[in-house]
Structure 1
Amino acid sequence: MRITKPITLYRDLSYFHSLLKSCIHGEISSSPITIFRDLLRSSLTPNHITMSIFLQATTTSLNSFKLQVEQVQTHLTKSGLDRFVYVKTSLLNLYLKKGCVTSAQMLFDEMPERDTVVWNALICGYSRNGYECDAWKLFIVMLQQGFSPSATTLVNLLPFCGQCGFVSQGRSVHGVAAKSGLELDSQVKNALISFYSKCAELGSAEVLFREMKDKSTVSWNTMIGAYSQSGLQEEAITVFKNMFEKNVEISPVTIINLLSAHVSHEPLHCLVVKCGMVNDISVVTSLVCAYSRCGCLVSAERLYASAKQDSIVGLTSIVSCYAEKGDMDIAVVYFSKTRQLCMKIDAVALVGILHGCKKSSHIDIGMSLHGYAIKSGLCTKTLVVNGLITMYSKFDDVETVLFLFEQLQETPLISWNSVISGCVQSGRASTAFEVFHQMMLTGGLLPDAITIASLLAGCSQLCCLNLGKELHGYTLRNNFENENFVCTALIDMYAKCGNEVQAESVFKSIKAPCTATWNSMISGYSLSGLQHRALSCYLEMREKGLKPDEITFLGVLSACNHGGFVDEGKICFRAMIKEFGISPTLQHYALMVGLLGRACLFTEALYLIWKMDIKPDSAVWGALLSACIIHRELEVGEYVARKMFMLDYKNGGLYVLMSNLYATEAMWDDVVRVRNMMKDNGYDGYLGVSQI
């Protein structure tokens, strides 16, 4: 029998170096610490090369980092290997990649000798960990001491310059790159293109892009992204077409950049399918956001459902879109799904959902979202608190608005504006002015155009002309009259305070009035009893080529109603529906019914109500009942009263109107009966009776 000697694998330092390098590239699952311990057990002595490779491999694998790195550092000191600069550089890199910036800084300060690599390593580490200012300062010191930056250093510094708008600093980096020859590096050139585009210097970005001889996919993507950030859709498409013609590989970033430029999502979706990117979660998420943004929620939902991985960005995009449309029931379903998947939405997404809580029926949903904000810690963010203030303002809950405002640790101007605007919207103009005076007493903050517009709306509520004039003076001194919404608020204030001459003066001072400004002028004339001028203003607006909206027609129909212009009212109502495609709201119908009723056209008014696309409310029926009182139309009045009673039997206005109708016909028994019904429903039955 032949006995073969077992083969013994010779394990020298090269063998262990090979294993450690495999760890760096992720080719084996063994821990670098385990391999290093095996090396020590094999009676081999690690040298400076071993330690350098080991530290590089350790970067991605240490769990109990603090304890193990201390052991490694102790071994380096005892063995004397820490005298090698590149060994310490590897250790410094290890600290930085684990976020231990202070330890890395201390190690750098202790180094008696430093080479270019260690300077670049610390600068890049600072940038990666959010210490951009320290990175920039260190970069300057590095240049002063005669060391040359690497391409990676410049690539890490340029994004900071672009984000902060530090144009001169970025140009200095460009100068260093040109002087050192690093400008020819494709990574540096891409970073420079991105920097110039973020600083709104697309001309420089275009020159750099044209100079590039070998443009990679990254280079093309950078230029498409530059145009996308600047909102230049056509230019982004042109670059993409050139990229496509040159057979450059299209990457997920290409698609994402094009979608961010609001390029038509349907052709891009086809391209995604053709290029086999349907499983890329970032591409699918961007497409979901694009479909949601365009209101194509069915497609967005189907695409999201087809994704192999759930995405918080895609899901919150769908939620926010439903909330924006006011469909809070479905928005809540998707929001609940984020909770089931243990996803945490951010402040921006939460505010988007809060903005959907517009109706009084949404108050429970809004309060639940408020609870989530408290539980998740988002209520500490000013953005979320401002969103909650706006939401509670819609529910006329001023006390909660003021409570939330008092809880803010920092109160920027936007928060003061939210509270002031909220108080005015809730009909508490006096409270809004109290908050404004408190803001002025704190010092350091001056009202902006939004503050003034909100306060002017408050003056309109209080009919406080003198205070409105003071605000007008402040507007002129601070050049706010260039803001259309401020001028619109001024016109509205003067009109509601009975000074139509000054309202006209402000209107004529505007070079190009927008639709909202014309609306204020039309409504102002109507309120001042100048119905003919209101209609003339509407016709002039049409001649200027501006498209009226539903608020325009509210002002016009109100003028027709008060002036008794039946034919003009009919023409405008018909134009609103057929010519401009605007669906009438309950307010439009109430004005039109009131106009027909006042003209004694009861049959026509009833026919209009019967053919309404939406269910008539008490305001619509009430407008007709008021007309019945004027014309003493008892039969129609009783029919309308029954309809109103079925809608809301607790409506006190119904009993007052019916009592007045019976009184005009001297039907005193019926007057008593109606008053008794009022008492049964909680009213005193003597509304309008003088005690004198």
Structure 2
Amino acid sequence: MRIDHGTKTGHQLHALILTAGASSESPYANNNLISMYVRCSSLEQARKLFDKMPERNVVSYNALYSAYSRNPDYASYAFSLINQMASESLKPNSSTFTSLVQVCTVLEDVLMGSLLHSQIIKLGFSGNVVVQTSVLGMYSSCGDLESARRIFECVNDGDAFTYSMVLNACSKLGSYSYSVGKLIHARMIVSDILTDLPVENALLDMYCSCGDMKEAFYMFGKIHNPNLVSWNSIISGCSENGFGEQVILMYRRLHRMSTPRPDEYTYSAAISATAEPERFVYGKLLHGQVTKLGYERSVFVGTTLLSMYFKNGEAESAQKVFGVITERDVVLWTEMIVGVLGTCSDMAMLRQGEVFHSLAIKTGLDSVMSVCGALVDMYGKNGKYETAESIFSLASNLDLKCWNSMLGAYSQHGMVEKALSFF
């Protein structure tokens, strides 16, 4: 769900949904509203809605646990929910424990973390590598290195594959597990563990995912014979962390080599870094190369090419790229159309957006909720309120994106009263 106008719009959206009867007694719609408030950084409103829910499920609790685990000012509130969750006969899952352990990390509450650790063992989640990694991170961050060592020994049987699993879990947890990843790396160095390429790639990916590109470059330089996984990790890491110039340099290095040869994921990551005007010329050159290799038809490469061209105002080039993509299942087409329409609305490129609206109608995807929301958003941002209202009115089973897009269109132009009367 896309939140463009902050907490005020979130409140208005919630009120409109309640007025229109779009909410229900089931927890699913309310869970989406909680997620919306969390994304608007309105944790108090999220909690108020949570408390008023006639029925809650594990997802409801996990949404708040996760939000509290990311905010030191609210982290302690998570503990008050644990007994309530138990009283409602809801069983925690791995996501529950991962977030709660992260709360303990934020608060540096090793006692509560130890109690949670006991429950993790009792309920059989100690074998989950993501949960184990979060526990390891908690003990490490709280200074209980002896407990951290014992946890690590439980998951480490001396097999390099285990190191890869734990490091991959660190990559998924991101910044929360950065200290754990560093600890594992240090342990490998001190213990003189013989690392193989998969472990080196796991370390590289961990540093890239945690945003430490200095260490990532160091790791990449130490890999004796990097394979395509190594190259894709470092190129993607540079692209995702804003090192656009390094993306171009790394790609050039790879391109000069006879092996490994870049694949569609390599090109997708490289093209993602060329959307900025100062690097747009490189994007065009990459487009020429992917066309020769046939990767232009790939949805991964095609999506990044579309974004690059639209961000640089070359709508006709974007349309040509769109026309040659061959992977046309409903999910991928929907993602493509939503992405393109989103770019059209952000750049006020109404004419091109209308072309893709026509395409959505021809392919029957205009009735898909995510496409509907993107169309309403595009026309609303371009001042075409009647068209936006028409699309909104014809949609069935409206989801929160459609409601939010329609309300956002009015709110952006100071038409909140009309929004209230319309809905």
Deviation of 1:261 (Å)? 4.0
- Quote how far apart the aligned CAs of 1:258 are: 4.2
Aligned to 1:195: 308
Farther off after superposition, 146-155 or 109-118: 146-155
CA distance in 2, matches of 1:260, 1:300: 14
Which residue is 1:276 aligned to? 398
Q: 2:88 is matched with which residue?
A: none
Task: Give the direction of change, closer, same or farther, for the CA distance of 1:217–1:236 in structure 2 (3 Å limit).
Answer: same
- Superposed CA RMSD in Å reads 3.5
| Structure 1 Cα separation of the partners of residues 174 and 136 of structure 2 | 8
Q: Is the 8 A contact 1:227 1:235 kept in 2?
A: yes
Q: Secondary structure at the match of 2:261?
A: coil
Aligned to 1:218: 335
Residues 413-435 of structure 1: per-residue CA shift (max 9 Å, x gap): xxxxxxxxxxxxxxxxxxxxxxx
Partner of 1:130: 242
Give me the TM-score of the superposition, normalised by structure 1. Answer: 0.36
1:243 aligns with 2:243: no
| Structure 1 segment 333-412 matched on structure 2, within 5 A | none
Give secondary structure in 1 for the equivalent of 2:128.
helix
CA separation of 1:81/1:276 partners in 2, compared to 1, >3 Å: closer, same or farther?
farther
Q: Supply the distance in 2 between the matched residues of 1:292 and 1:131 (Cα, whole angstroms).
A: 36
- Which residue, out of 160, 185, 194, partners 1:73? 185
For residues 600-611 of structure 1, the aligned pairs below 5 Å read none
Aligned partners of 2:380 and 2:406 also within 8 Å: yes
**Deviation, structure 1 residue 191:** 1.4
> For each residue in 1:555-596, what CA deviation from the matched residue of structure 2 results, as whole angstroms up to 9, or x when unmatched?
xxxxxxxxxxxxxxxxxxxxxxxxxxxxxxxxxxxxxxxxxx
Among 129, 133, 136, the residue aligned to 1:33? 136
Is residue 287 of structure 1 aligned with residue 406 of structure 2? yes
- C-alpha change, 1:62 and 1:201, in structure 2 (3 Å) is closer
Q: 1:30: Cα distance to partner?
A: 7.5
After superposition, the Cα gap between the structure-2 partners of 1:154 and 1:32, relative to the gap in structure 1 and judged at 3 Å, is farther
Question: Residue 66 and residue 237 in structure 1: after superposition, are their counterparts in 2 closer, same or farther (change >3 A)?
Answer: closer
| Partner Cα separation in structure 2 for residue 30 and residue 105 of structure 1 | 24
Q: How is 1:105-184 mapped onto 2 (pairs within 5 angstroms)? A: 105-146=217-258, 147-164=260-277, 166-184=279-297
> Secondary structure, in 3 states, of the residue corresponding to 1:166?
helix
Aligned counterpart for 1:263 among listed residues 359, 377, 384 = 384
The one-letter code of the counterpart of 1:217 is: T
Q: Quick one: distance in 2 between partners of 1:200 and 1:64?
A: 38
Q: What SS does the aligned partner of 1:220 have?
A: helix
The 1:37–1:148 alpha-carbon spacing in structure 2 relative to 1, beyond 3 Å, is farther
The letter of the residue matching 1:177 is V
Contact 1:259 1:290 (C-alpha < 8 Å) held by counterparts = yes
C-alpha deviation, 1:18, in angstroms = 7.2
**Alignment pair present for 1:298 and 2:298:** no
Whether the 8 Å CA contact 1:32–1:57 is kept in 2: the answer is: no
- Determine the C-alpha separation between the residues in 1 that align with 2:375 and 2:196: 44
Higher RCO (Cα < 8 Å, 6 or more apart): 2
Give the superposition deviation at 1:138: 1.3
1:325-368 CA-partner distances (Å, limit 9, x unpaired): xxxxxxxxxxxxxxxxxxxxxxxxxxxxxxxxxxxxxxxxxxxx
On the 8 A contact 2:126/2:132 being kept in 1, the answer is: no
- The letter for the 2-side match of 1:297 is V
Matched, 1:207 2:310: no
Distance 1:77 1:253 in 2: 50
Secondary structure at the aligned position of 2:224 is classed as coil
What does residue range 263-662 of structure 1 map to in structure 2 within 5 Å? 263-264=384-385, 265-270=388-393, 274-278=396-400, 280=401, 284-300=403-419
Question: How much has 1:228 moved relative to structure 2?
Answer: 4.1
Counterpart residue type for residue 51 of structure 1: Y
Structure 2 residue runs without a partner (length 5+): 1-123, 138-147
Contact kept, 8 Å, 2:208 with 2:237, in 1: the verdict is: yes
Q: Secondary structure at the match of 2:200?
A: helix
Other structure's SS at 1:113 match? coil
Distance 1:138 1:238 in 2: 37
Report the Cα distance in structure 2 between the residues aligned to 1:55 and 1:163, rounded to whole angstroms.
Answer: 32
**1:262, 1:144 → 2: CA distance?**
49
Determine if contact 1:165/1:198 at 8 Å carries over to the other structure: no
What is the deviation of 1:95? Answer: 1.2
| Structure 2 residue identity aligned to 1:48 | A
Contact 1:229-1:261 within 8 A present in 2 as well: no
Query: What is the Cα deviation at residue 39 of structure 1?
Result: 7.1
- Conserved 8 A contact 1:95-1:103: yes
Work out the CA distance in 1 between the residues paired with 2:211 and 2:234: 12
**2-structure distance, mates of 1:180, 1:79:** 45
Taking structure 1 as reference, are residues 66 and 207 closer, same or farther at Cα in structure 2, changes over 3 Å only?
closer
Inter-partner Cα distance in structure 2 for 1:212 and 1:87: 35
Pairs aligned (count): 279
Shift in Å, 1:163: 2.5
CA contact (8 A) 1:291 1:297 kept: yes
Structure-to-structure mapping, 1:32-51, within 5 angstroms: 33=136, 37=150, 40-41=153-154, 45-51=157-163
User: How far off its partner does 1:114 sit?
Assistant: 1.3
In the alignment, is the contact (CA less than 8 A) between 1:198 and 1:229 conserved in 2?
Answer: no
CA offsets, 1:614-648, max 9 Å, x none?
xxxxxxxxxxxxxxxxxxxxxxxxxxxxxxxxxxx
Question: Which secondary structure does the structure 2 equivalent of 1:195 belong to?
Answer: helix
- Of 63, 71, 85 in structure 1, the residue corresponding to residue 197 of structure 2 is 85
Structure 1 gaps of 5+ residues are 1-14, 307-692
TM-score (norm 2): 0.56
Is contact 2:170–2:180 with CA below 8 Å preserved after alignment? Answer: no
3-state SS in 1 of match to 2:251? helix
Match of 2:409, as an amino acid? A
Shift of 1:116: 1.4
Distance in 1, matches of 2:244 and 2:213, equals: 12
Q: Deviations over 1:295-337 (max 9, x none)?
A: 423135789xx9xxxxxxxxxxxxxxxxxxxxxxxxxxxxxxx
Q: Secondary structure at the match of 1:40?
A: helix
Alpha-carbon offset, residue 229 of structure 1: 5.3
Question: Hey, what's the Cα distance between the residues in 1 that align with 2:376 and 2:404?
Answer: 11
The reply on whether 1:19 has 2:113 as its aligned counterpart is no
